[in-house]
Structure 1
């Protein structure tokens, strides 16, 4: 009896993931380049820093990950916590 396989989805193929990552990196680079072209109405002097919003977003996301890893140490419960 032959095994039946489920059809592979778009994200199950490694070459598609590679293509999507390349597209993501290109879009990120284009957004940083656009930051030098598009006129912004700034309210604070630190917004004049080149690529400020890209740096701000990266630092913000990194901080969220590190804070979540730290919070995991005291918020994590056993696997059978609700089964007791």
Structure 2
């Protein structure tokens, strides 16, 4: 028996339903653009589906500008310094043959060992 908990988006059918809902909302906004009277300040706002196009073009430009900015803002992997290897002297070793625990050297300066 599989006891793993199922979340909402684990089922691909639920993902499809959300996408269909998103498509329906987008279509509704486009249809309402022809029905609802707007009080506009500029003449180009009277163009059909101006606001959906304006939002789409704005998002595309935002992604393109972010991709361009990444070329000079990206930092190398070791920007904050080299990655330190774990210190094996601080690891607790368990001898499984007799069940006893051998404590490693946990008394280094700066350690936060509250059991020492």
**Do the structures match in fold with TM over 0.5?**
yes
For 1:45-69, what per-residue CA distance to the aligned partner results, in whole angstroms no more than 9, with x for missing partners? 0001100000000000000011111
Once residues 77 and 6 of structure 1 are traced to their aligned partners in structure 2, the CA distance between those partners, rounded to angstroms, is 39
1:23 matched residue in structure 2: 21
Structure number with greater CO (CA < 8 Å, separation at least 6) is 1
Give the alignment's TM-score, normalised by structure 1. 0.86
Once residues 36 and 12 of structure 1 are traced to their aligned partners in structure 2, the CA distance between those partners, rounded to angstroms, is 38
1:65 matched residue in structure 2: 63
Give unpaired runs (5+ residues) of structure 1. none
CA RMSD, Structure 1 to Structure 2 (Å): 1.8
* Structure that is richer in helix per residue: 1
Give the alignment's TM-score, normalised by structure 2. 0.64
Picking from 27, 40, 43, the partner of 1:42 is: 40
Question: Which contiguous aligned blocks of 4+ residues in structure 1 show a shift greater than 3 angstroms?
Answer: none
Matched residue pairs, number? 82
